[in-house]
Structure 1
Amino acid sequence: MTLHDEDLTAARHAVEHLFGQSVLRFQAYENLMKAVISEHRLSGHMFDIEDIRADRVVKTRQKTMGTLMSEMIGSFIVPEGKEIQCEDREDAPSVALNFQLSFTADDFARIEAEHRDLVVLRNSLVHHFLEQHDLRSVEGCLVAQQTLTSALDRVTRAQNELRCWANDMVTARKVLADYILSPDLDEFFVHGRVPWHILTVTKALHEAARELTSGDWAPVEAAVSWIEERYPEEQPKDYGCKTWRQVIHESKHFDLQVRKADGRLKAWYRPRDRSVTHR
């Protein structure tokens, strides 16, 4: 065997090694995508949720990398302001989980371009690599090595980024699980007692009181307008109440008082823990 033949053989071996590394890394990246897609969104009747989850995992495993990418971008990874809300169900006890990561428009555009390009890169690598590279010469093998090294670097960066997002989702799920198992939720589901002290609506009422207090008391009417502007999703009906005055009364976090002013009755409220009101 000539020196040239030895150099070519070594060059080809290097290409094969890099090719194998790249394909394996793309498969690991794809498997991580499948794990994220199958777990980030789940909804259904409470008693069927485990079967629904198992079915979702099976169906996700059968999807191509391109389909997975289309689901990940816009469902798990979304631009700010485009978050998807879970649909409410009233026909039976149900569970709805939806984990999303939102990014600024610029960051989202970068992430989308980088990760979608990986689908094209992977398909080119698997289906057209031998067409695009001449492995009959040392020079051709060196060019192929450069292509593979670049591909390996790109998919490794994307996999590390996706792994960080997946870890964030796992952390969020643990926090949610701890919350669901907390005594507050047990009191709510078993005894029907609303855990007012941990609810956003109570926080919003405290904030409104802090902003609008005249003396010790804040006008309920003004507080409602303040909350509707900053917390539009908060509504009394979500807590089994017909009015904001009922929310204030039922929470037992506030004193409520009705006074006559300008010829009409007006409601005022104040936090029972005054330290929460004052800055």
Structure 2
Amino acid sequence: MDLAATPEQAGGLAELQRAAQNKLGGCLLRLQQYELLLKAMVANTEVAGPPAKLESLREEQIACAQKNTLGGLVGMLTGGYLSSDDSAVADSPASEEPPGNGIWFSFQHRMVMDAERYESTKAGLKELVDLRNELVHHLLQRFDLGQMERCEAAVAYLDRSRGTIDAHYLTLREWAEQMERTRAIAASLMDSPSFKDMLIDGIAPDGQVHWPMSGIVDSLREAEAALSQGRPEGWTELNAAIAWQRQHAPEQTPQRYGCSSWRQVLHESRQFEVKKQVPAEGAPAMNGTVVCYRSLREE
């Protein structure tokens, strides 16, 4: 400050310095709000894994997001939630299913933009990260707050910076609200009978059955495991399995899967070997034989 400055000038400079401090604090607080919202978004952009591990996987993602810097979070956002075309969604790691027959759940949020808007958005987010670093590390190098003129310039710069930060925050909040609406729709869908039919019993909304994961095939295998012990080569009599089903899984009926009989289930599912044989003594038979089945065996 100029030693010859009048008391009025000194008072004006002090007021400008307080204004600069307040405006810098406002910018940094808004940046922290932005960062907290961004952490919540990137932690919930996608989740994939066995149903029993989904909650722990989500907690790991939240912990990972909490440790990231603003630059790292922006990279996760532009490399995950934001994409320039549909191919980015198809190529994402969360859409890859592991080998095996176990249930694998994958859920993703994406905002797809045209290439020009995507690149413009990425550039704008990079500028925000650069602005944050400038405010935190270099403000005093850029503006000498001991000089009236530079202090005035700093206040104007901080006003512009706050406007930029607020605009980014409002955009991010809009994206977060869209994500939350999408999650609510997805939750409603997953709570619907049609989704449960598909997930639990393999029955698609159009009535098509994915037999390998269907509930009726699972229950036939459970009956097989319970009844085939001690029988030659593991064959199970279908009539005995039907009786077991009525006691243990009465909701699993052929009609639920568009079939008129259990024999049709065995045929349509293509998951079992089927043969006719002479019944055990005292067992009910049709035309002197009984139908038996066993799960297909790997070669």
What TM-score do the two structures reach when normalised by structure 1?
0.69
Give the structure 2 partner of residue 88 of structure 1. Answer: 97
How far apart are 1:186 and its partner, in Å?
Answer: 2.1
Q: What letter matches 1:87 in structure 2?
A: E
Task: Please identify, of 25-34 and 81-90, the stretch whose mean Cα deviation from structure 2 is larger.
Answer: 81-90
Match of 2:82 among 77, 83, 88: 77
Q: Distance in 2 between matches of 1:168 and 1:239?
A: 32
Give the structure 1 partner of residue 166 of structure 2. Answer: 156
Q: What letter matches 2:39 in structure 1?
A: K
Task: Report if aligned partners of 2:48, 2:105 keep a CA contact under 8 Å in 1.
Answer: yes
Give the structure 2 partner of residue 178 of structure 1. Answer: 188
Match of 2:155 among 145, 156, 176: 145
Task: Report if aligned partners of 2:83, 2:110 keep a CA contact under 8 Å in 1.
Answer: yes
User: CA 1:191–1:109 in structure 2 vs 1: closer, same or farther (change >3 Å)?
Assistant: closer
Q: What CA deviation, in whole Å up to 9, does each residue of 1:198-257 have, x standing for no partner? A: x9xxxxxxxxxxxxxxxxxxxxxxxxxxxxxxxxxxxxxx9559xxxxxxxx999xxxxx
Match of 1:165 among 172, 175, 181: 175
Unaligned runs of 5+ in 1: 200-237, 242-249, 253-279
Match of 1:132 among 142, 167, 173: 142
Whether 1:97 and 2:102 are equivalent positions in the alignment is no
Give the structure 2 partner of residue 35 of structure 1. Answer: 40
Whether 1:49 and 2:54 are equivalent positions in the alignment is yes
Task: Report if aligned partners of 1:37, 1:76 keep a CA contact under 8 Å in 2.
Answer: yes
Unaligned runs of 5+ in 2: 1-5, 213-256, 260-299
Q: What letter matches 1:79 in structure 2?
A: S
Aligned residue for 1:96, secondary structure, equals strand
Q: What CA deviation, in whole Å up to 9, does each residue of 1:52-76 have, x standing for no partner? A: 1111101110011111111111211
Aligned residue for 1:74, secondary structure, equals helix
Give the structure 1 partner of residue 16 of structure 2. Answer: 11
Q: Distance in 2 between matches of 1:169 and 1:89?
A: 27
Give the structure 2 partner of residue 188 of structure 1. Answer: 198
Aligned residues between the structures: 205
Aligned residue for 1:84, secondary structure, equals helix
Alignment of 1:109-124 (within 5 A): 109-124=119-134
CA RMSD of aligned residues (A): 2.2
How far apart are 1:87 and its partner, in Å?
Answer: 1.1
How far apart are 1:167 and its partner, in Å?
Answer: 0.9
How far apart are 1:153 and its partner, in Å?
Answer: 0.6
Give the structure 2 partner of residue 257 of structure 1. Answer: none
Q: Distance in 2 between matches of 1:191 and 1:72?
A: 35
Runs of 4+ in 1 over 6 A off after TM superposition: none
Task: Report if aligned partners of 2:17, 2:151 keep a CA contact under 8 Å in 1.
Answer: yes
Q: What letter matches 1:128 in structure 2?
A: H
Whether 1:65 and 2:74 are equivalent positions in the alignment is no
Give the structure 2 partner of residue 209 of structure 1. Answer: none
Q: What letter matches 1:17 in structure 2?
A: N
How far apart are 1:98 and its partner, in Å?
Answer: 1.1
